[in-house]
Each structure stands twice: as C-alpha cells, then as structure tokens.
A and B are shown apart, each in its own frame.
Chain A
Amino acid sequence: MQGVMFIVLALVTLFSALMVITRKDPVSSILYLVLTFFCFAGFYVLLGAQFLAAVQIIVYAGAIAVLFLFVVMMLNLREPEAEEGKELIPIWKPLGYAVGIGVGIVFLSYLASSPGPAIPPLNGGDEIYAMGRADFLGKALFTDFILPFEIAGVLLLAAVLGAVALAKKKRV
C-alpha cells in the first residue's frame, strides 16, 4: 500500500516538476510548482512527519508560491516568445547542463553506494507517530539541534533585513 502510494506520488512529482521548467506560460508553471509542493507534503506524511507536511503546505504552497504568482501576475508576462533569442551570456546554457549532470552523477553514485535510510512504515506504532508531532519536533529542535536551528534563524533574519533594505525607498 505504502509502496504504491510512494510510486504514484513520485510519478506526479516528476511530472509536475518537469512541467514547471518546460511551460512557456509562467502562471501555469507556478501552478505546477504548487502541485510539486503538495507532493512533497505527501512524502512527508508517508515518512510519518505530519507536522512538516502541514507546515510545508502553509509556508510553501500557501505563502511563497502565492507571492510568486502575485509577482508574475503583476509583471504581465503573457508573451514570453518576444524575449527569446536574447540570451545574456552564451556560456550559461552549457554551464547549466554541466552543473546539472554533475549533481546528478553525485546523487546517483551516492544512491548506488549506500542502501539509503530505512523508510518507517506508515502505521509503525506510536513511536513513529509521535515523531511527527509538533511537540516532539520542538523538543528536538531546541535540544539536540539548537545550533543549526539558531544558525538558520540568523540566516533568515539577515535575509529579512536585506529584503527590507532593498525595498526601502532611498531618502534623497
């Protein structure tokens, strides 16, 4: 059952992720991106992390992708064909292929060398179920993983300050 769900989710994820980068129309592209985020939430549920799944939808599908949509609708990018043929630097395309293929090789070699972490069963008893809960996650974040958590917090703070500094009107 879980295997079937995983395969269906994986296929939908791959399909929608491909659609994100191949659609000419940016709004469709973003809507496929939302579908991809949904599938990620599905994977989290399969792994017993319900809290992460809910937060994934609230933050990514409900807020970040909505902002993308907002920007795209504002920019009115209805005819992207007009922009084509005007590549900024010709080296970007081969560079992109090279980086993509390189990362792919690294991932594949990692997958080939190790069996990967065991996937906990969906109804794997109270222990797994409790792990997905908010209180468990909170305790883990504030005890075992306090340093990475704080570093991520400082990073986000810096990003917020940077965004405010960029968006602020210059007073001349």
Chain B
Amino acid sequence: MLDLSIVMSMAFLVEKSIVTVFIFIVVLAVVAYATLGERKIAGYLQDRHGPNRAGIGKHKLWGILQPIADGTKFFMKEDIIPDKANKILFVLAPTFTFCAAGFIMAAIPFGDRITIFGREVLLQIADINLGILYILAIGSLGVYGIAMGGWASNNKYSLMGGLRTVSQMISYEIVMGLALVALMIDHGTPALRQIVIQQSGPIWHWSVFSHPLGFLLFYISVFAECSRMPFDLPEAENELVAGYHTEYSSMKFGLFQFGEYTHMTLASCFIATLYFGGWTIPWVAVPENPGLIWGIISFGVLWIKALFFLFVFMWVRWTLPRFRYDQLLYLGWKKLIPLAIFNIFLTAGLILLFQKFGIAG
C-alpha cells in the first residue's frame, strides 16, 4: 500500500516536471520570437523591412535567428554597475522583474487534459482553485522589480521612472481587480480551468460577449500593467532618457526587456483564457476522454488566440501616441475605476434578474 502511494507520487512528480519544463520552454520560445516579431511588425507598419539579416547561411529567412544574435550581443556587452548604486538591489531588480512575470505561467491553463499511459495529465502547471487571485497576487509584485531598479540606480531619471511605475501600476491594478470581480461573480469561481470549460459551446458563450465593458476595462489595464505603449510612461524616452533602466546595460537590461515580453505574452494568454474561451474551440464540445491529439489541438488553439493579442500589443504600440502622465492617472482614477464599480453592480443586477425570471445566464 505504501509502496504504491510512493510510486504514484513519483509518477505525479515526473509528470508535473515534464509539463512544467515543456510549458516553460514554449513560453520562452514565444517570448524570444516576440522580440523579433515586435521589430518586424514595427518595420511593416512603418513601411520598412525590420531585421532581416540573421539567417542560416545564405538564406536570410526573414531574420529567423535574430533572437539568438540579440542574446549573444547582450552577453557580450560590457556590464556596468554605477559606483554609487545600491549593488544588491541593482542586481536583484531585473531578476525580480523577470521572475514575477514568469510565475504567472504556473496558473494558466494552456490546454485540456491528455491521457498518456493511462494517466490523465493536465496541460497546466498547477490547477489551483484560486487561479485569478494567484495571477493578480503575482502580477502585483512585478512593480517591485522596476521600483527597485529605478531606486538602486541612484539616478534622477531612473528614480522618476520608478515612481511613475509605482503610481501607474497601483492605479491600474485596482481597475483590473474590479473588472475581474464582475467576471468571477458571473462564473461563480476564480478557478481558471472551470472558467474555460464554462465558455465552451457556441461562440456567444465567450465571456467577452457577456462582459463587454469588463473586457474593455481589463484590456486597458493590462496595457498599463505591462507598461506598453499608450501607457509606457515609466520609460518615456523623450522625458526620462530610458526611465528605470537608464543605468542598465548588458544582460541586466536584457532581462528587463525579456521580463516585459514575458509579461505581455502571459497577459495575452490570460486575456484569451478569461474572455475568449481559452483552449476551447467554438461549437466543439469538450470530449469526455480526451486523447493526445485533442490535447495538442487545445494547446494550439490557446496559442493562436494568445498570439493574436500579442500582435495587438505591438500594433497599438506603433499606432498610438503616448499619454501624458497626469492624463494617465486622471483616466485611471476618475474614469475607469467608477466604470469598473458600475460594471460590478450591472453584472450582479443582471444575474439576479436572470435568476428571478429563470433564464439561464
């Protein structure tokens, strides 16, 4: 009896390790190519080619090896730590930023379960029943990396960048949390896998159709949380040189960049999971006994949706101008937060109304 349980838990550990490593590699690969994709899209939007030299031998292949070239370059550059900087925090900050972004991937359901060797394996690192809250908690820690980096650099521009980050993230986290409260009221659970399964069936089961306002608020606040273009005040180069990473060079700067893209990629997965049906396909029922093929299809479906949102991040960046700092805070506190609170009351009221008249919401 005891031996059996040890074997079972060993199998569990092995399966979880494989799933974790697999998801980690896929996410990092997507993130690496997102950096290339960003510059390619920027190029096409501005009527030029973008990076197209790093290919295999004579074949340029649209610069397919650019991420490797970039990584090599980051490692080869001289690594400078300013004399008056707080050394420990200066080194810790980029690491922290990257880790806080990467931890989000633990709760995202990347696919349905698959059956291999008679065992059901979830394509998700941890199916915690507080998925949304876990992601909010980890997401709210991302601000420390940037604030630490800005403060430890001992540079006025960096400090200003750090301060802006703190106030921006605090403001938009509230909007994000309130938008998700309405979603959780509707689904009745913060467990991400349950939310995905509830969205299967016809396409109008997607939450974006039942929560259009909530989706809009959430989407705007995700842009602010990732400090992406209309809201990239922390690194506004025309006012702050490069904001919080002015003093960073070499791979430390690379980690900040990599952390930003990881944050964006996982935020795209999160949006697809919450509002666009996650790994489910519209009108296709979730099978009772899913095989390997269904697992792969569901994994691919989530990534197709996520890559679309990743593209929108870049599209917006090269289309819209930047907000002014006071406009950003004005929008957050005076427009979005009251709207989000209204959205909660609207959702709760509609659900009560539907329940009273017996219509399945």
Contact = CB atoms under 8 A, between A and B. Distances in A.
B147 A69 contact: yes
A58 B147 contact: no
B270 to A, nearest CB: 16
B282 interface: no
Query: Binding site of A, secondary structure by majority: helix, strand, loop or mixed?
Result: helix
Interface in A117-140: 133-134
The bracket for how many chain A residues form the interface is 20 to 34
A57 B130 contact: no
Most chain B beta-carbon neighbours within 10 Å: one of A31, A34, A57, A58: A58
Main secondary structure on B side of the interface with A = helix
Given A31-B148, A66-B147, A134 B190 contact: yes
Contact of B162 (A25, A28, A31, A73): A73
Given A58-B177, A70-B163, A27 B89 contact: yes
Interface stretch (A47-55, A106-114, A144-152): A47-55
A98 interface: no
Contacts of B46: none
A25 B87 CA distance: 14
A66 B130 contact: no
A63 interface: yes
Contacts of B143: 62, 66
Nearest to B166: A70
Interface of B: 86, 89, 128-130, 133-134, 136-138, 140-141, 143-144, 147-148, 150-151, 159, 162-163, 166-167, 169-170, 173, 177, 190
Going nearest first, the 10 A-B pairs with the smallest beta carbon separation are A62-B140, A54-B133, A57-B137, A70-B166, A58-B137, A54-B137, A54-B130, A58-B136, A50-B130, A73-B151
